[in-house]
Amino acid sequence: MAAKSLHITKVETFVIQGVGSGGDYHNVKGGHWLIDSPISTPMSGWEKYRTSRTSWGINVLGSFCVEIKASDGTMGFATGFGGPPACWLVKEHLERFLIGADPRNTNSLFEQMYRASMFYGRKGLPVAVISVIDLALWDLKGKIWKEPVYRLLGGNTRDRLHFYCTGPEPLAAKQMGFIGAKVPLPYGPDEGQAGLRKNVEFLRQHRESVGPDFPLRVDCYMSLNVSYTIQIVKACEDLNIDWWEECLTPDDSDGFKQLKRAHPTVKFTTGEHEYSRYGFRKLIEGRTIDILQPDVMWVGGMTELQRISAMAAAYDIPVIPHASGPYSYHFVISQPNSPFQEYLANSPDGKSVLPVFGDLFMNEPIPTKGYLDVSELDKPGFGLEVNPAARLISGDQLLRPGPRRGLEPPKEVTDNAA
């Protein structure tokens, strides 16, 4: 029986009014642990940017959503980050590859969007925008075929998905049933030996609170350098830190070789801020990273995450995605190479479990007692129902009057072409 003909008829973009909703994790209310607690960042070298991560603009883009409509009326929807600039990129560039195309051809559509934007993209915002489009296409495919996305990825490899929790209170994570906890490192290299001692004491207190065997991990958010990392890992040898995450800038892949030479038995992880299979190739081939952590809303979507995971599996390197809520849940439960998933604490104090995407969806699944049964993912697509009260603003409203068009070709060129 021939597959029915389908094509994309409409692509619509949205931003979200206010804070605390959608795919920009950091666009939250003031006082939230994620933005207003001591966290070492690449901007910690300047004292005025240490108090709040919003001071240097971590939430400047905001959330962004894409809705794609197929010719049979089926709709796919996804969220990520990118705000108004993302809406512009979709409308003025990427939409041309979608309208009229078969939405089931996700490999081809990804390649067209990625390659057409290489001259200004390859990483960062353009790939993040493509990621959200790709996720909306996967949501649409699942609804067309009336299957959850994890089944389109090969089906479940287990019946229950376990989580560790990233937040400010590892003891609370343990009490809520999570299988491990990760804390942000408070102080960076520019805060000197005093900051180093405070970091060690901070981690020691958390180790004492959760006991000697509960997995405790440290997120360094691209803020350290090679020598400081070697030093702090040595100073914390007796604390049984399970892994050290994103110690170096994403562009210093060679620095991980030095870390591994200095501490060959310590686990180092990274990948949250890397993009596409090309960005991960060197990390994988170098064999210096113990766990890869791509974010499916940034890395290129589900299409590119599958390719990265396949490469990593050939080297027996686990892939444990960064956050991303249900998008990651469908991926991880389908992959034998992804043993568990991160839950990024979305409550202001990090001591309770709330939906990762705030109030954007009516039915976002969240872990209970540190786990999620696969049956909770058994709805077509990603199974997420947009909240009718969601504060969505159409991207078309933001683009009126529309961006100025490029110059028309000279008349003589047009005439000659004719």
Active site residues: 322
Could you tell me if 90 and 132 are in contact, meaning their C-beta atoms sit under 8 angstroms apart? no
- 83-92 and 125-145 helices, crossing angle to 10°: 70
| Nearest C-alpha neighbor of 136 from the set 2, 11, 246 | 11
Q: What are phi and psi of 107, to 5 degrees?
A: -65, -50
Q: Where are the alpha helices (DSSP H) in 211-324?
A: 226-235, 255-262, 276-285, 301-313
Distance CA 183, CA 338 (A): 21
Could you tell me if 138 and 305 are in contact, meaning their C-beta atoms sit under 8 angstroms apart? no
Could you tell me if 283 and 271 are in contact, meaning their C-beta atoms sit under 8 angstroms apart? yes
Which three-class secondary structure state does DSSP give residue 143? Answer: helix
| Nearest C-alpha neighbor of 268 from the set 286, 292, 251 | 292
CA 374 to chain centre: 21
If you compute the radius of gyration of the chain from its CA atoms, what whole number of angstroms results?
Answer: 22
Q: What are phi and psi of 133, to 5 degrees?
A: -60, -45
Distance CA 94, CA 136 (A): 14
Distance CA 335, CA 131 (A): 19
| Nearest C-alpha neighbor of 270 from the set 291, 295, 296 | 291
| Nearest C-alpha neighbor of 271 from the set 243, 246, 252, 244 | 246
H/E element, 321:
none
Could you tell me if 245 and 185 are in contact, meaning their C-beta atoms sit under 8 angstroms apart? no
